[in-house]
Structures are given as C-alpha cells and as structure tokens.
C-alpha cells in the first residue's frame, strides 16, 4: 500500500462469508447464502486481532472510504480526510475496515447478484433484509479476517443504524461506538420520505416488476427518488447559500417559459442522473425498506432500557441543521446510553449543510473524533 498524505492506493477485496449455501439465517426467516462481501481495509491488524475500527456506510455509500483505486483516477474515498496515518482514524495504530452492505450493488450480494439456484439476477426475488442482517454479515466477515475485538464502530445515517445494532448484537466485542446523524428507530417522517422515493421507482414503466435488464431499468424513477432524497439531505440555509433564486438562463424571455429552470432544479437533475449511473434501483428499494424496519428495541423490550446492552464508551454526534434526523434523536441516544450505565457523550456539529454535513465537515469532525479515540485504551 502506498501512503501519500494519508491513505494512497487501495483495492477492493472480496470474501465469501456464509458457507455452505443457505447458512445465513435472515430475520425474515429465510436461510440464505453463500454471501460475497466486498470490502476495503487500511492499516494492519495486530497479532492480538484487537485494533480494528469498523466504518459503516450510508444508503448509497460503499466500502471505498479512503484512498484511491488507481493513479489515473484520484477520486478519494468518501471519508478520506478522516483516515490515514496521524488522522482521526489513525492507520498507524488501527486496522480500519469498511464493507459494502448486504443488499447493495457494489460487490456484496444483493438484488443485482446472480442467484446460484437459477443462474439469473435475484432482482425482486431477493429476500427482505434488515439492518441486523447487514451487521450479522459484517460480523462473519470480521471473523474471517481474524478480528477478535473492535476498538470502535463508526458511521452516519444508515451507517449509524448499523453502529447501534453492533452495540446491541455484539456488545462485548466493542470498546466504543460513534453513531452520527441517526436514530435508534426510524421516524414516521423518514419512513414517509422513503415510501415516496420507492413509489417513484415502482411507478416507472421501465421497472417491469423488478426484472429489468442489467444496465437499464427505471432510470427516471430512480433519478426522481434521488432528487427527493437530496432535498432531505440539505438545509434551507445551504440551499439559499448555494443557489438562492438564481435562474439558469440569462435571457429575459426564458424566464416565462414553462420549462425554464432555476439552478437548484438543474442541481437536482444532476444528482438524479449521477446516481442512475452508479446504483441499482432494486438495491435502493431494499435498503430503504431495511431502514424503515430499523428499531433497536424490536423484540428486545422497552426502547429506553435496551441501551443497557452496551456499557462501553459512546460518542453521539448530532448536526445542528439536520432536517432528516433532527438532533433530538441523537440527544436521545446519548441520554439513554448514559442512563443505562454507558460512558456516553454528545457533541453537536454546528453546520449549515444539513444531514450531509457528516460527509462535508471533515476538519471539525476530525478534531472531535480524534479526541474521543485518544480516550480509548
């Protein structure tokens, strides 16, 4: 691995984690497998197997959290500035792991994968999955990699949901958790937004009941779903600062054309088109449904008491301008962990960028996360 002001060249690796076939018990009752997991690692696992930091990605994220894949394409990972020698997640000390989630479309088994029983894409035949299923697969991966203990699990949004489930499912395996801009159970507002996004996909004639050709499918529906999601990831302040009421044409007569657009409309079009080029519509359906089902108390008893399962250190991070996951959800997580005996802390990221701030405010987050990691023995 080449190091150049942080993590340099990296490669995506693959592991089969559920062997033999049908070895993975999903929450929906289906026995499933084998499962291939795409993942990336940074730094070295020590001889004791106890210096791991697990990074969990959000809805349309992937395992490429740091570094770049080639000298020609220097597009860094989505948390590149947080990971590397001397950085908040210090690869000189820690073995950092990030894997693509079950149900996704970046190499880990999901709807676009081939069903070994039929030789065809799973598509809509893929089983309904949950955040807990994703975590179970991650656990199996770490065991295959030789990881015996985790210093910290960290992630934002859907990644934060996985962090919380790690604390519930494998509490003795972690020293600390850092859930960011997330909630212990999905709110009615978030479920509503997810439902409308799924309808945008399902109503596209090209969806064809989920049996569309690879590389084709409901492009307009997926783009619209992404546009809806993008609106929820920002704040009024960030929209106003970036676009205001700027009109895309300088010609006066275009202002009164029905198809004339403001720059904010062009931006939404761009975000929709960009996602269509890299993401699968069925995966979008399955992952948003998994988020809807997220509730760490489901089947475990009282919501405020279930936090007692984890007694390690907790740093919960809320975002001041987050419209999708308002900060009172993170304050709740902090409070319930603290009330149930964990060493729990809350930090509010002051930012105008809304929910997206955890993917933007690297300097502020690096300082706080680095300080917290320094307290973990």
Identify which has the larger pLDDT, 307 or 249: 307
User: Confidence band (pLDDT; 50, 70, 90) for 4?
Assistant: very low
Q: Residue 211 sits in a domain of what CATH number?
A: 1.10.1740.110
Together in a domain, 357 and 258: no
Residue 1 within any structural domain of the chain:
no
Tell me: the pLDDT tens digits for 326-363?
999 999 999 999 999 999 999 999 999 999 999 999 99
Query: What ranges in the chain are assigned the alpha helix state H?
Result: 131-145, 158-169, 188-202, 219-233, 236-242, 263-276, 281-292, 327-339, 362-373
- Which token pair is 293? 């089902």
Instruction: Give the rounded distance of the alpha carbon of 183 from its chain centre.
Output: 13
Task: Single out the residue of 39, 44, 49, 19 nearest to residue 31, CA to CA.
Answer: 19
Q: Does residue 197 have a pLDDT over 50?
A: yes
What pLDDT sits at residue 218? 98
Residue 165 within any structural domain of the chain:
yes
First to last CA, the chain: 27
Residue 4 within any structural domain of the chain:
no
Together in a domain, 237 and 284: yes
Together in a domain, 70 and 90: yes
Residues 6+ apart with CB under 8 A from 164: 177, 179, 182, 184, 296, 333
**Domain limit, last residue, from 268, 289, 310:** 289
Residue range of the domain that includes 230: 191-289
Residue 132 within any structural domain of the chain:
yes
Cα 24 from Cα 16, distance rounded (Å): 12
Active-site option among 62, 90, 280, 322: 322
Together in a domain, 244 and 303: no
Residue 263 within any structural domain of the chain:
yes
Tell me: the pLDDT tens digits for 99-144?
999 999 999 999 999 999 999 999 999 999 999 999 999 999 999 9
| Residue 356 among the catalytic residues | no
Report the percentage of the chain scoring pLDDT > 90.
Answer: 90
Backbone torsions φ then ψ of 89, nearest 5 degrees: -105, 90
Strands 95-99 and 36-42: antiparallel
Q: Does residue 234 have a pLDDT over 50?
A: yes
Together in a domain, 195 and 182: no
**Domain limit, last residue, from 289, 312, 342:** 289
Residue 231 within any structural domain of the chain:
yes
Q: Residue 314: in which H helix or E strand, if any?
A: strand 313-319
Task: State whether the Cα torsion 261-267-269-270 is positive or negative.
Answer: positive
Backbone torsions φ then ψ of 249, nearest 5 degrees: -115, 145
| Residue 57 among the catalytic residues | no
Residues 6+ apart with CB under 8 A from 291: 59, 131, 158, 161, 186, 190, 194
Q: Residue 55 sits in a domain of what CATH number?
A: 3.40.50.1820
- Which token pair is 219? 């492009």
Together in a domain, 199 and 277: yes
Active-site option among 64, 80, 294, 355: 355
Cα 108 from Cα 38, distance rounded (Å): 5
Residue 73 within any structural domain of the chain:
yes
Residue 3 within any structural domain of the chain:
no
User: Confidence band (pLDDT; 50, 70, 90) for 3?
Assistant: very low
Together in a domain, 36 and 130: yes
Task: Single out the residue of 48, 39, 206, 216 nearest to residue 121, CA to CA.
Answer: 216
Tell me: the pLDDT tens digits for 235-264?
999 999 999 999 988 787 788 888 889 999
Together in a domain, 33 and 146: yes
CA atoms within a 13 Å half-sphere pointing along the CA-CB vector of 350: 0
The SS3 of residue 33 is coil
Together in a domain, 88 and 47: yes
Together in a domain, 110 and 210: no
Cα 369 from Cα 325, distance rounded (Å): 20
Together in a domain, 40 and 130: yes
| Residue 322 among the catalytic residues | yes
In the numeric block, the tokens 């919501």 are attached to 303
Active-site option among 157, 183, 235, 283: 157
Q: How many domains is the chain built from?
A: 2
**Domain limit, last residue, from 259, 289, 319:** 289
Together in a domain, 155 and 136: yes
């Amino acid at each position: 691995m080449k190091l150049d002001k942080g993590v340099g060249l990296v490669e995506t690796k693959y592991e089969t984690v559920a062997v033999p076939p049908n070895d993975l018990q999903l929450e929906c009752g289906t026995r499933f497998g084998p499962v291939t997991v795409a993942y990336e690692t940074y730094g070295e696992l020590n001889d004791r197997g106890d210096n791991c930091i697990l990074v969990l990605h959000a809805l349309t994220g992937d395992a490429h959290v740091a570094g770049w894949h080639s000298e020609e394409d220097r597009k860094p990972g989505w948390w590149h500035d947080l990971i590397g020698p001397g950085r908040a997640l210090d690869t000189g000390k820690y073995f950092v792991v990030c894997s693509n989630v079950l149900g996704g479309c970046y190499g880990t088994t999901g709807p676009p994968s081939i069903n070994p029983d039929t030789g065809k894409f799973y598509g809509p035949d893929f089983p309904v999955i949950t955040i807990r299923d994703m975590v179970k697969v991650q656990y199996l991966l770490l065991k295959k990699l030789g990881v015996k203990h985790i210093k910290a699990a960290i992630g934002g949004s859907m990644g934060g949901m996985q962090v919380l489930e790690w604390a519930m499912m494998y509490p003795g395996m972690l020293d600390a958790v850092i859930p960011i801009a997330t909630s212990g159970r999905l709110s009615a507002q978030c479920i509503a937004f997810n439902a409308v996004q799924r309808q945008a996909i399902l109503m596209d004639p090209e969806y064809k009941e989920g049996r569309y050709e690879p590389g084709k499918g409901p492009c307009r529906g997926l783009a619209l779903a992404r546009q809806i999601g993008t609106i929820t990831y920002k704040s009024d302040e960030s929209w106003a600062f970036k676009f205001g009421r700027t009109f895309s044409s300088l010609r006066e007569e275009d202002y009164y054309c029905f198809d004339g657009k403001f720059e904010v409309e062009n931006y939404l079009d761009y975000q929709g088109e960009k996602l269509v080029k890299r993401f699968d519509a069925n995966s979008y359906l399955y992952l948003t449904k998994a988020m809807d089902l997220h509730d760490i108390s489901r089947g475990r008893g009282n919501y405020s008491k279930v936090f007692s399962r984890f007694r390690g250190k907790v740093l919960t991070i809320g975002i001041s301008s987050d419209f999708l996951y308002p900060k009172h959800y993170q304050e709740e997580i902090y409070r319930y962990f603290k009330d149930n005996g964990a060493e729990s802390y809350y930090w509010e990221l002051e930012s105008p960028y809304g929910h997206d701030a955890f993917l933007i405010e690297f300097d502020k987050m690096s300082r706080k996360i680095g300080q917290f990691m320094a307290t973990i023995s």
